[in-house]
Structure 1
Amino acid sequence: MTETTVTPTHASRTGGRHDEIRFGTSGSTGEARHWFRLPHQMEREVELIGTRLVGPVDRVLNYAPPQHLFGALFGQWLPRIAGVPVHQAWADPFAPLPVSPGERVLAVCIPMAWDLLRRSLPVLERAGSVVALHSSAAAPPTAHELVRRAAPLLRAHEILGSTETGGLAHRPLLPEGPEGGDAGPWQALPDVSFVRDAGAPTRGPEELVIRGPRLARPEHGTRPPDRWATGDLVEFTGPRAFRLVGRSSSLIKVNGVKVHLARVDEQLKACLPQTECVVLPLPDDSLAGEGYVVFWSGRGHAVGIADVRAALRDFPSPSQIVELAGIPRTPTGKPDRSALFAEFAPTSA
């Protein structure tokens, strides 16, 4: 989900209702804007995901800041509705986890949470069961490792969504991870419907456009939009299921060849699983045309730029390959585009 800030129970200056909750997108995937959600939309999402995926819980361990929609939903609203205690682990990530024997635990996860949970596995093993929800950025390898190690005590689900849409789809977080094969399709939540062009081809990528009662109201609108174009490119695998191909902004042409940057990213993860890699499009250049840059960090492993080039042999060459000591990330684990491009110098790879 998009990184957000939230101001609860404040009305919009554009005539919004006084019980609306204001969230502000960070601008990492678009222009910074405010979005407004109603309490019944928050309650409905908690009910949908709580009933379908989580089940009864006795305690919540919340690693998602409540300024983020995901953290607000499952680190504030769910424990309040369920009447259960919540440990706000995001505020002090290294504090001991308060898990009592036999408790049914919900862990609300962003990428940095998984390594902390792995270190606390002896504490989690006191629980009767653990369900983990993951949102924000892609789940790290540690998440799949922990699901594999801690089964059947722990099961996990990924939630796909944004501040604008709320949660729109889910899938199980598999123990083998993306590098071990297909991560599986996303399944739409029951109140989400797809808007598709009747003339669109039956196969091939399409932009994901949805309708649903949990769309947020934009700051300059009087009501939520009728539909929302997510910017995600998908391949539909069934009436209510799809696979993510990438972002519409990540489909570029390099020297006339179409390149799905999500597939470049998948190839790097498969070939270099111990390496952090981020693939980003570059602005169109009137002389050089479209291109992309690969930011990577070997994280102490014996990997070099030649290995990155070898992993990309099936794709047009990137405009540049930039080695970093570590990939800068936002508080919710997404690559920090501004910080990354501050490291970028436009030279040939």
Structure 2
Amino acid sequence: MTRTAARQEEIHFRTSGSTGVPRHWFRLPHQMENEVDLIGRHLVGVVDEVINYAPPQHLFGALFGEWLPRMRQVRVHQAWADPFEPCSVPPGARVLVVCIPMAWELLRRGWPALECARSVVALHSSATAPAAAYELVRQAGPLLRAHEILGATETGGIAHRPLAPDGDGTREWQAFPDVSLVRDAEGSTGGPQELVIRSPRLARPESDPRPPDRWTTGDLVEFTGPRAFRLVGRATSLVKVNGIKVHLARVDEQLSTRLPDTECVALALPEDALTGEGYAVFWTGRRRGVEVADIRAALLGFPSPAKIVEMDRIPRTDTGKPDRQALLAAL
């Protein structure tokens, strides 16, 4: 196949970029097929029906809401188009649900319609799983099995782990078989390292003629085995408050654990000449009896946030990630 023909076959995806300027990524059909086959064999198994809450303009939704149903010739309900439309499945069906954060509460409310299924597998990606996910996994097992996938548009799926009923977000991730973890040979102290991977499924950036040899993800991890790690947070989410390192992913985990009915997001603040680095906590949940004092109490053991901002709702992107620009604009 000529390079021109290969370019014509490429599938285009776009990310917002850290500066707000869109970045464009390109994947070949065989990369899409290989990812569907790999994750399908490892996590999903046989499927008769797909319920897809992930918009297909994003890689996660395209893979499991479009490519998997087409490759396996099974029916798909594109729930992202009308999330509040009730879902129904034939009795005895083996169901795959493709989840982003907002899907879990809808899935929990509509669960009785899925209890006739033979099995339900949920894949979750794109953001931290909400409290409703853990609640449903506790209530609906063993009929429901759920898996988290760590990945990005640039990389495809990197690693996976079961979505644990106990809500323990610190469990280790296992790399997919075709992903190599590039470990820092000098990182012998066991401290956090930035996650670097090699994979045949890396996307091609628009500025390059081919995919890169390796990709630095921006995730900070602690390696727990040759192909396993715990996620500490994002390299950009590590701040120092009065000289103390704070991993904002751990702030989010502690808030989620101690205030399960409150939606909270911790974000790094632009460095201030007077106060230095810091972070803010955005939250919503006063109608459930939560007050600012409860936020502070839940953060015992962490340096105090510079700001605690109450919101009517947490703004999110269409894949469920907190909308950082909208949150910082609320300060």
Q: Normalising by structure 2, report the TM-score.
A: 0.95
Q: Select the residue among 36, 53, 60 that pairs with 1:46.
A: 36
Q: Select the residue among 168, 172, 183 that pairs with 2:162.
A: 172
Deviations 1:212-266 (A, max 9, x none): 1000000000000111000000001110000000001111111222111122222
Are 1:334 and 2:304 matched, yes or no?
A: no
Instruction: Give the whole-Å Cα distance in 2 for the aligned partners of 1:310 and 1:153.
Output: 37
Deviations 1:89-117 (A, max 9, x none): 11111223130011111111111111111
The residue aligned with 1:89 is: 79
The residue aligned with 2:269 is: 282
Deviations 1:16-49 (A, max 9, x none): 7110001000236875200000000000000000
CA contact (8 A) 1:276 1:299 kept: no
CA contact (8 A) 2:219 2:232 kept: yes
Change in CA separation of 1:214 and 1:299 when aligned onto 2, cut-off 3 Å? farther
> Bigger shift: 298-307 or 227-236?
298-307
Structure 1 residue 270, shift from structure 2 partner: 2.2
CA contact (8 A) 2:170 2:231 kept: no
**What is the one-letter code of the residue matched to 1:188?**
A
Aligned-CA RMSD value: 1.7
The residue aligned with 1:225 is: 212
**What is the one-letter code of the residue matched to 1:256?**
G
Are 1:261 and 2:251 matched, yes or no?
A: no
Deviations 1:32-72 (A, max 9, x none): 20000000000000000000110111111111010110000
Instruction: Give the whole-Å Cα distance in 1 for the aligned partners of 2:65 and 2:286.
Output: 31
Deviations 1:275-331 (A, max 9, x none): 111100111223321111111111511111111122223222211111112111111
> Bigger shift: 310-319 or 155-164?
310-319
Gaps of 5+ in 1: 1-11, 345-349
**What is the one-letter code of the residue matched to 1:42?**
M
Within 5 Å, give how 1:70-219 maps onto structure 2: 70-178=60-168, 183-219=170-206
Q: Select the residue among 13, 27, 52 that pairs with 1:37.
A: 27
CA contact (8 A) 2:170 2:230 kept: no
CA contact (8 A) 2:149 2:159 kept: yes
Overall identity of the aligned pairs, in %: 72
The residue aligned with 1:270 is: 257
Change in CA separation of 1:119 and 1:313 when aligned onto 2, cut-off 3 Å? closer
Instruction: Give the whole-Å Cα distance in 2 for the aligned partners of 1:262 and 1:273.
Output: 15
**What is the one-letter code of the residue matched to 1:53?**
L
CA contact (8 A) 2:88 2:114 kept: no
The residue aligned with 2:230 is: 243
Secondary structure of the 1:330 match is coil
Structure 1 residue 191, shift from structure 2 partner: 0.4
Instruction: Give the whole-Å Cα distance in 2 for the aligned partners of 1:82 and 1:330.
Output: 30
Structure 1 residue 342, shift from structure 2 partner: 1.3
Instruction: Give the whole-Å Cα distance in 1 for the aligned partners of 2:21 and 2:5.
Output: 22
The residue aligned with 2:283 is: 296
Deviations 1:58-87 (A, max 9, x none): 111111010110000000000000011111
> Bigger shift: 304-313 or 212-221?
304-313
Q: Which runs of 4+ in 1 moved over 4 A?
A: 28-31
Within 5 Å, give how 1:4-83 maps onto structure 2: 17-27=7-17, 31-83=21-73
Instruction: Give the whole-Å Cα distance in 2 for the aligned partners of 1:196 and 1:320.
Output: 36
CA contact (8 A) 2:131 2:256 kept: no
**What is the one-letter code of the residue matched to 1:61?**
I
